Homo-oligomer: A and B are copies of this chain.
Amino acid sequence: MLAIALAEARAGLASGGIPIGAALVGPHGAVWGRGHNRRVQDGDPSAHGETSAFRAAGRRRSYRGTTMVTTLSPCWYCSGLIRQFGITSVLIGEATTFSGGHDWLAEHGVAVTVLDDPECVALMTDFIATRPDLWFEDIGE
């Protein structure tokens, strides 16, 4: 599943954006929605990877059994999304370059898996070194 989020992150980078991608996967493995950070492309600060995937999935009555797959530990904004909508699991590519709210999610019953994927780490490490201005804008720091 991480391959989809990583493909989204790479597509975001290729179009001049911040390389964070995500996918919302339904309880039976179907991809409900996928997307990447679009702050730069759309001038939209609310379009994080996870919120873009959630938006792309459209209106849903329940998120029970779903998994949010993301290349990077979800920030508080995206962690709040996951908690509010009762998304069951989160699969995270890496939490080395940035650590958001995933421990808080685990405390509140979300099944959290943090991989330590070298491709995800390399993508963000390079991006933060190259465009720290965009990165810190994206997390409000």
Which A residues have a C-beta under 8 Å from some C-beta of B?
A: 39, 43-46, 51, 54-55, 57-63, 75-81, 83-86, 101, 137, 139-141
Q: Is the interface of A mostly helix, strand, loop or mixed?
A: loop
CA A61 to CA B138, docked complex, whole Å = 9
**Copies of this chain per assembly:** 2
Q: 17 A–B contact pairs at CB < 8 A?
A: A39-B59, A43-B58, A43-B59, A45-B54, A45-B60, A46-B54, A46-B81, A51-B51, A59-B137, A62-B140, A63-B140, A75-B84, A76-B84, A80-B101, A84-B140, A85-B140, A86-B141
Residues of chain B within 8 A (CB-CB) of A76 are: 80-81, 83-84
Contact of A78 among B60, B62, B80, B137 (CB under 8 A): B80
With A84-B139, A139-B84 in contact, do A59 and B78 touch (Cβ < 8 Å)? no
